[in-house]
Amino acid sequence: MPYRYREDVAIADVAFEAWGATIEEMFVAAADATLNAIVTDLNAIARVDRRTLEAAAEEVDMLLFQLLQELIFYKDAERLLLRVTEVTIEERPGHFLLSAQACGEELDPTRHDLIVDVKAVTLHRFKVEPAAGGEGWEAFVILDV
């Protein structure tokens, strides 16, 4: 799994690291980490409903913040559990744009083993940067639960 939960940080919440060979792959991993904090088995989510998620920000890290926040929004507003399948990031003068494809289904406690409700993405220690070894990208995120 290209993400790992950190047990030693923010003990009342859920902290994770995510990686990817590209920034887009890392975003997909971080989206899965967020969803996996809510549902035990991501494979139990059928790919029935599709949504296109969009974000715009001056800094690339805030694109990740907004993408994860969109997943949390759909979980409450439409009771949808969405997995992000594809991410496209474009750099424009002075800002970045993100478009993501996501699919999933309405949450069903009889089929989805639900763990905890994620309330928000926090900015405490929030980080999106090229990986330490020089290859790929990594993120550090704390979710408020």
Please pick, from the candidates 46, 60, 97, 120, the single residue that binds another protein as defined by CB under 8 A: 120
List all residues 6 or more positions away from 13 whose beta carbon is below 8 Å from its beta carbon: 122, 142, 143, 144, 145
Residue 21 or residue 115: which is nearer to another protein going by CB? 115
**Site membership for another protein, residue 38 (CB under 8 A):** yes
**Site membership for another protein, residue 42 (CB under 8 A):** no
Stretch of residues binding another protein (CB under 8 A), selected from 17-25, 44-52, 63-71, 93-101: 63-71
E strand segments, the chain: 3-6, 14-20, 49-57, 80-92, 95-106, 120-121, 127-130, 137-144
d(CA 137, CA 139): 7
**Site membership for another protein, residue 65 (CB under 8 A):** yes
Please pick, from the candidates 93, 94, 109, 134, the single residue that binds another protein as defined by CB under 8 A: 109
